[in-house]
Structure 1
Amino acid sequence: MAQLTLIRHGETEWSRAHRHTGRTDVPLTETGEEQARAAGKLLSDRQFDHVFVSPLRRARETAVLAGLPDAVAEPDLMEWDYGGYEGLTTAQIRETRPGWYLWRDGVIPGDAEHPGEQVESVGSRVDRVLARVRPLLAAGDDVALVAHGHVLRVLTARWLGLDPAGGRLFWLATAGVCFLGFEHEQPVMKGWNQRGGA
């Protein structure tokens, strides 16, 4: 049966430093480029009928290096907008908000480029993505999505019928590759957080 493949972008300077990287358009590091190529090797035996990618640079670079240069930009795959927490680490946020947890407490508004969004808004965006890809999968087409850690975690939760905040259950490494599919026509997870030999 058709399969939905998820690929998180490779490492950036900000992801390496554990900074919340939403809409800031940072490039991959050399390690991130190696990770993206390794993800491509992991997928080298697969043919995709459709590939969609976040328009942000780190995702687009990952798609190209993974051997998916014809990916179509999908704005709803952009990362969670962290608002006023953009660029900060969890430790920095907890200096003023002790015990803060993104999945429970959300974000505060930021500037015009980072107004912020709550997990339900991310859920609405990924629901639109899934509404777009489900007919393709039903037609027997294999689909790949290249995007970001948190948005792909929310998408996985929604695929499995969980609330958007259920994404907290699915930790995803840089350049992690995941497989979603069906068992007896029901959505399931077929593989999670697989990585190439970078």
Structure 2
Amino acid sequence: MTLITLIRHGQTDWNLEGRIQGSTDIPLNDTGRAQARHAAVQLAGVAFDHVYASPLGRARETAEIIARERGLSAPLVTVGMREHEFGEAEGLLWDEYRERFGARTDDVPGAETVQQLTDRALASLTRIDLAARRRSAPHVESVLVCTHGGVIRALLEHASGGTLPAPGERLGNASVHRFAMDGGGLRLLDAASV
């Protein structure tokens, strides 16, 4: 079994504006960097064997700050944990998005579907789980994965059978969600904000 702590990246200027980032590589702002340092302190009671990050700069920098603050090795990049690709909706404000496309992300030209997002994120976590079990069997390995709100939302929906997150619930920057994975099955342990 592998314990997986997912953390959403710190704030960016586009988060502050309510703009859709998707796969657009927007950096952390100073608030986001402070959130990452705060998360490192809040997670001090949790031992991590490895740190992983999405390749997008905002997640990678969040992971680097946490790893540095905790004295951990540099994060390993895992491409499958990058944010939902929103296609033509990237760069729009959320209100503009709703006016133009409604509530369904699966109808946006050039965007990946929620199922595609879920499948690639699960495949990435499965690879992390397999690597952890090869390295440390029978020890339970604990990993931190810095990723994005859309990825965490998709995994929460998958692991909860569609009951989480609540409709309209926003996943805050630097929010923490803990899962367990054993041989491909993902189980939610808890979700709490840092």
Same-fold status (TM-score > 0.5): yes
Aligned to 2:193: 194
- In the other structure, the counterpart of 2:179 is 180
Partner of 2:129: 134
| 8 A Cα contact 1:84 1:107, kept in partner | no
Alpha carbons 2:156, 2:165 under 8 Å: kept: no
**TM-score under structure 1 length normalisation:** 0.80
Whole-angstrom CA distance in 1 between matches of 2:55 and 2:107: 22
Unaligned runs of 5+ in 1: 110-114
Mapped partners of 2:120, 2:164: distance in 1? 14
Q: Give distance in 2, aligned partners of 1:192 and 1:161.
A: 11
Alignment identity in percent?
Answer: 33
1: CA distance between counterparts of 2:141 and 2:172?
26
Q: Which residue in 1 is equivalent to 2:92?
A: 88
Q: Give the match for residue 125 of structure 1.
A: 120
Number of residue pairs aligned between Structure 1 and Structure 2:
180
- Structure 2 counterparts to residues 65-80 of structure 1, below 5 A: 65-67=65-67, 70-80=74-84
- The equivalent of 1:45 in structure 2 is 45
| CA separation of 1:69 and 1:32: change in aligned 2, threshold 3 A | farther
Which aligned pairs between 1:151-190 and structure 2 lie closer than 5 A? 151-158=151-158, 160=159, 162=161, 169=166, 171-181=170-180, 188-190=187-189
The alignment yields a C-alpha RMSD, in angstroms, of 2.4
> Which residue in the other structure is 1:112 paired with?
none
- Equivalent residues of 1:82, 1:107 under 8 A apart: no
Shift in CA distance, 7/21, structure 1 to aligned 2, threshold 3 Å: same
How far residue 26 of structure 1 moved from its aligned partner, in angstroms, is 1.0
